[in-house]
Structure 1
Amino acid sequence: MNNLLYFIPPEKHNSDDLILLLNSHPEIKFVSLVAVDLGNNHTDEKIPIEIFKKDIENFLNSGVQTDGSSVFLPKIAELNNAKVDIIPDLNVKWFIDYNHDNIDPDTNLPIGTLIIPSYLVHDEKYVGSRSVLKSAISNFKSQMINLFKTNSHLLKEFGINSTDNIEDVILTTATELEFWVQTPGDKADIENLSTSQILKEQYWKRTIGPVRTALEKSLELLNKYDFEAEMGHKEVGGIPSSLNKDGRFTHIMEQLEIDWKYSTAMQTADNELMAKNIIKDIFVRHGLDVTFLAKPIEGVAGSGEHTHVGVAVKLKDGKIINLFTPSDMNKYYLSSIGWGALMGLLKNYEVVNPFITSSNDALNRLKPGFEAPVCIVSSIGHKVEIPSRNRTVLAGLIRDHNNPLATRFEIRSPNPTTNTYLATAAIYQAMLDGIKNIISANKTNEELLKEFSKSVGEEGFYLEKDRAYRSEEDVFEHYTEEERNKLFGIPPATVWENIKNLDVYKDKVKILNDGNVFTKNIIESFKTSILIQWTTELKNRIIPSNMELVRSCKKLHDSNTATDLDVVNWEKINEIRYELMKDSLNKKSLFTKIREAIDNKQYDLVSSLQLEMNNKIQLLKELYLQYKKNLFEIIE
């Protein structure tokens, strides 16, 4: 397999080089233009490579057309105006995706598909997720150059003689991918998983059997795609697997993490999309199921995808300057631009969060007690000399005194289902607002530290008066829920509460609009797509699943051996079952109320009823477990 071609760099994206490469690799039989819509769905099609080669110039310039049914762009690509163009991006790496189950008889190699990351265009406007990130990158770069031109003190801070010396502004990002693997069909033992998690029995432990093999092969293959894999390890979730009499491992249920090197913002998002496919294919070939859900198992640690963001300038002499790093790392935490970026993110996070946490699954992960952030708060470290490693905050400052280029922010709220293109775009738009305001204020570094560390009720020149933004404490253990809400704001508990912020915080939405990045049409289309996904999943998946749970909670005790406690426990359980699911002539169940509220588009009511349902379902599970534990014999 050493002769396989795994990627094509941007400098080769011309007809002559492409024809030469494709002719020398006849195992590449197809081309797929991969674009990502606003619902985080990506396209995939099989275009025979010969068709691509015959009309290659047209493909590179005009791509292919679709009627819009293959992408989710509500309020944009409607039935009466549905034509959408898929246009190749010539400025990022292209990948070759190999099907190891389909071997080319002529070459004896797996058949490959050339994956071309692409843009979606409707009515001559770029409308997809990659397009939004492209606009955000362009907006950030142009405004940063303008800030350097109009603020001489900024040039002095970073030791840059003139803006003419700046060749490029570089937005660097990286994601850490967590996921669960298991033997197909196995059901989770919640108690066992929870106990193992509390005892840290699996965290960074040695992998064995097919999990080890698949993990090692994943790292090897990622490197062939030039991802520069940095680490793969067990995460906190999981239980030991079993070895059957045939020497096969069974009952595998483990949480893993794989990390690879940072890149530019667009390339990082593309790499992540490809990496998920690579990882899933390899684990499936080893008989293991993979899920990238944020919270696949209730009551156990979910999967995060911590996102690292940074900004640098490249000078014409080749020198790279990290714009978050202060002039003196032994004296200051951050540069003025670094302070602006962090404060901009936190101040505007209410309108960033909808693009990060946009599903029922994602909201289920963000709960106290599972190392997932629920508060808009950051940590920079107790002292300048001591780096922050506070795992309970939304955004942490990462610093290395020996490496000024490493200064960056780790945003801990994203998960594997987050649309990285939209999330990254929103993050940089929010950061840009803070940077512009902090630079125009022309404050000293000490004044910026004071602003960031302000208390609730203390006036700030940029940050909001009724909020605090910094905590070096464990925000779950040090504060009560009431204290957290007062200090850092009340976190959204449902998808509706989150996306509604795009209507509530109109001034902050303008920051997303800045530079025509998140246009009104894009935001409205995104909101509609998320609303459809939320209500459809709630009505057609979550409620039916909960109905099966209610039905599975059956009376198990024998009247001859039951105690009064068993009877009381069952009565409590049965009462909750009726409240959740059973309608009568004069009373509707909670499930029915939710379905009717969805049909009537009463989304505030749907949101509150969903929370009520979630609480009752959790109580039902707990009571039923207690009930079963007190029974000598279980009658089915």
Structure 2
Amino acid sequence: MSLLFVIPTNKQNKEELLKILQQHKEIRFVSLVGIDFLGNDTDEKIPVKNFIEDIETFLHGTAVQTDGSSVILPGIATLNNAKVDMKVDLTCNWYVDYNYDYIDEETNKPVGTIRMPCHLYHEDVAVDSRYILKNSVDHFRASMMKLFEENPQFLTNFDINYDEIEDVSITAATELEFWVNTPNELAEIEELSTSQVLKEQYWKRTKGPVRTALEKSLDLLAKYGLEPEMGHKEVGGVKAKLSESGVLTHIMEQLEVDWKFSTALQTCDNELLVRGLIKETFRKNGLEVTFQAKPIEEVAGNGEHLHVGVTLKLKNGKMMNLFHSYAEKDFLSEVGYGAIMGVLKNYEVINPFVSSNYDALQRLKPGFEAPVCIVTSLGFTKDVPSRNRTILVGLVRDAINPMATRFELRSPNPNTNIYLVLSSVIISMVDGISYVVTNNKSREELLAELSKKPGEKTSYLEEGRCYRSEEDVFEFYTEEEREEYFGKAPSTVYENLLAFDDESRVHVLTKDGVITNKVIKGYKEAVLERWTTELEHRILPNYSNEIRNIRRSNGDDFMEYDLEKWSEINKLREKLMKDNYVSRSLFTQMREAINDKNYKELSELQLIVDEDMRILRRLYMNYRRNLMDI
């Protein structure tokens, strides 16, 4: 009998599960998967024997208990009230995770673990990211049905009436980018940067172990029923080298994998599965994978574009795309305009969920195809779809397929808590669509409002902003114009979290109780803790090691010109990390700000240090270029 990869919802009952476990002796463990505020997933190994003995409790009660030290739920699971219950979710697929390094002696198959999605409960209240997404989807469905019931005239635009509707649902999909390299072998940053500018790697042919691992990953995704669409090289990377033994070495490439859309919650669960499959598959082929947002300075980072659509199911079985304009050829329906306007207007309070760590903000820089401006693009004409890769939220259309109309949020990265991002996007869509339906806005009026100029007053969008551009926003506008038209993008984690201090913005997320103030407070605390820990124990030590490795040359060709350049370099080194009797280094000041919890000062110091490190690298590169004996 072949391996079992998926246990669908109709098999998640006692009778079917006992039958499955009897037939598949290689499945030796079960594990409950809960998602905390930072997107971390729980994993434990519970022997199948224990699961079978207590199967009813696992399926319909509190299967496992954990404490606040194993999940990040600050302000909720505290040291003096740490009990967290884990309850299995029977509404999404379960996946069987196989350990191909451990072969079961009885069956001669890899040992498997059933990974069961679950919700985390504290004091009988669900507090996890998965449950927040579930609530946001339920909220969206209820809100849309109520809007359509109370405003039946609006449905004439779709040539239907309220009684014909059976359901409204969110569809979603993600794209996953990642860097691959041979362990302990790194390419020069200048070489990587040059290759990126020349687009030498983009959609080129994969070779050797990278090709093997990519093809095996796509095959695995198919076995899990995810329907992979493609895998290809991304913009980053350099050509590998061939060793004397004919083995490719110094591999450093960026790849992307895409698969089919699903429901909101299943999409996020699938993303979690895919990351694990890819890491393990590439590891077995002698390669390391990183999903960091910005693993290499001056080179493109990893994105995780989020696609969102809305489907209307009629009682006669017909499916309709609520974003698509069926009445006549147009960019969008009224619902579509409302949804995208809601996301744009409220993006300041979505963004803290999108970019919540140091690397995430480092990725969002002009020039790397990563969005920094709150702006959308619809296309140059209504007849021919186009794609603007410089904007935040893009409209994706297919001229011959109405069901393909959707939005693409381009700012998330693979370490984004996609559950909370999608939750906040859905809530923001409700806000925008409610404005459109209750005010009976036409497509023409909405297109005009979305295309407004800065200073032009409208009913919903902010007066001082511009929200649509069909131009390359990095090339067409100056930095000053981008900030004036689209708002100033946050540069640090602290700056990004400031939106949560603005009650007028936060109110959109909290007014219906899907995301509570308690959750936002706990999330903010968790993000600040991670940011300061990362700065103190990863960023500053890495910077210090980098500075220590910047050394003066003692070669025979060292001249007065070189001495002058070295003096400039050394002065900057000392400013960054060397204390003396009269002054403290920038690194010391950052550590003191962390200790004092002075986040504003720490944010300002981080920006200074990051810029000085960029200058230092550039100075040292030019210094080395001038030396013949090195």
TM-score category (smaller protein): over 0.9
How far apart are 1:329 and its partner, in Å?
4.9
Structure 1 Cα separation of the partners of residues 380 and 450 of structure 2? 14
Structure 2 Cα separation of the partners of residues 317 and 372 of structure 1? 42
- Letter of the 1:615 partner, please give it: E
Counterpart of 1:612? 608
Q: Does 1:114 align with 2:110?
A: no
Structure 2 Cα separation of the partners of residues 601 and 104 of structure 1? 51
Secondary structure in 2 matching 1:313 = strand
Counterpart of 1:85? 85
Q: Answer yes or no: is the 8 Å Cα contact 1:557–1:631 preserved in 2.
A: no
Counterpart of 1:377? 375
Counterpart of 1:301? 300
| CA displacement, residues 162-193 of structure 1 (integer Å, 9 cap, x when unaligned) | 2x322211100000000011000112310111
Structure 1 segment 420-431 matched on structure 2, within 5 A: 420-431=418-429
- Letter of the 1:494 partner, please give it: T
Secondary structure in 2 matching 1:311 = strand
How far apart are 1:429 and its partner, in Å?
0.8
Secondary structure in 2 matching 1:477 = helix
- Letter of the 1:15 partner, please give it: K
How far apart are 1:557 and its partner, in Å?
4.1
Q: Answer yes or no: is the 8 Å Cα contact 1:229–1:259 preserved in 2.
A: yes
Q: Answer yes or no: is the 8 Å Cα contact 2:572–2:616 preserved in 1.
A: yes
Question: What is the root-mean-square deviation of aligned Cα atoms in Å?
Answer: 0.9
Q: Answer yes or no: is the 8 Å Cα contact 1:188–1:297 preserved in 2.
A: no
Secondary structure in 1 matching 2:320 = strand
Q: Answer yes or no: is the 8 Å Cα contact 2:158–2:327 preserved in 1.
A: no
Pairing partner for 1:449 from 434, 447, 450: 447
Structure 1 Cα separation of the partners of residues 605 and 203 of structure 2? 40
Secondary structure in 1 matching 2:118 = strand
How far apart are 1:506 and its partner, in Å?
1.3
Q: Answer yes or no: is the 8 Å Cα contact 1:459–1:465 preserved in 2.
A: yes
Counterpart of 2:623? 627
Unaligned stretches of 5+ in structure 1?
A: none
Q: Answer yes or no: is the 8 Å Cα contact 1:388–1:396 preserved in 2.
A: no
- Letter of the 2:126 partner, please give it: Y
Counterpart of 1:539? 536
Q: Does 1:527 align with 2:527?
A: no
Q: Does 1:475 align with 2:464?
A: no
Counterpart of 1:212? 211
Counterpart of 2:548? 551
Structure 1 segment 303-452 matched on structure 2, within 5 A: 303-330=302-329, 332-452=330-450
Aligned length: 629
Pairing partner for 1:589 from 585, 588, 594: 585
Q: Does 1:235 align with 2:231?
A: no
Q: Does 1:568 align with 2:567?
A: no
| CA displacement, residues 480-522 of structure 1 (integer Å, 9 cap, x when unaligned) | 000000000000000000011111x311211111321110111
Structure 1 Cα separation of the partners of residues 274 and 544 of structure 2? 36
Q: Give the alignment's TM-score, normalised by structure 2.
A: 0.99
Tell me which moved more, 452-461 or 508-517: 508-517
Counterpart of 1:16? 15
Structure 1 Cα separation of the partners of residues 451 and 560 of structure 2? 56
Structure 1 segment 127-166 matched on structure 2, within 5 A: 127-162=127-162, 164-166=163-165
Q: Which consecutive segments of 4 or more residues in structure 1 shift more than 6 A? A: none
Q: Answer yes or no: is the 8 Å Cα contact 2:27–2:112 preserved in 1.
A: yes
Structure 1 Cα separation of the partners of residues 525 and 77 of structure 2? 13
Structure 2 Cα separation of the partners of residues 431 and 409 of structure 1? 11
Structure 2 Cα separation of the partners of residues 227 and 329 of structure 1? 34
| CA displacement, residues 35-61 of structure 1 (integer Å, 9 cap, x when unaligned) | 110022110000000110111110112
Q: Give the alignment's TM-score, normalised by structure 1.
A: 0.98
Structure 1 Cα separation of the partners of residues 429 and 627 of structure 2? 57
- Letter of the 1:564 partner, please give it: E
Structure 1 Cα separation of the partners of residues 354 and 166 of structure 2? 31
Structure 1 Cα separation of the partners of residues 328 and 206 of structure 2? 39
Structure 1 Cα separation of the partners of residues 110 and 318 of structure 2? 42
Unaligned stretches of 5+ in structure 2?
A: none
Secondary structure in 2 matching 1:515 = coil
Q: Answer yes or no: is the 8 Å Cα contact 1:39–1:529 preserved in 2.
A: yes
Secondary structure in 2 matching 1:588 = coil
Secondary structure in 2 matching 1:532 = helix
Q: Does 1:509 align with 2:487?
A: no
Structure 1 Cα separation of the partners of residues 445 and 275 of structure 2? 43
Q: Does 1:59 align with 2:58?
A: yes
Q: Answer yes or no: is the 8 Å Cα contact 2:203–2:232 preserved in 1.
A: yes
How far apart are 1:475 and its partner, in Å?
0.2
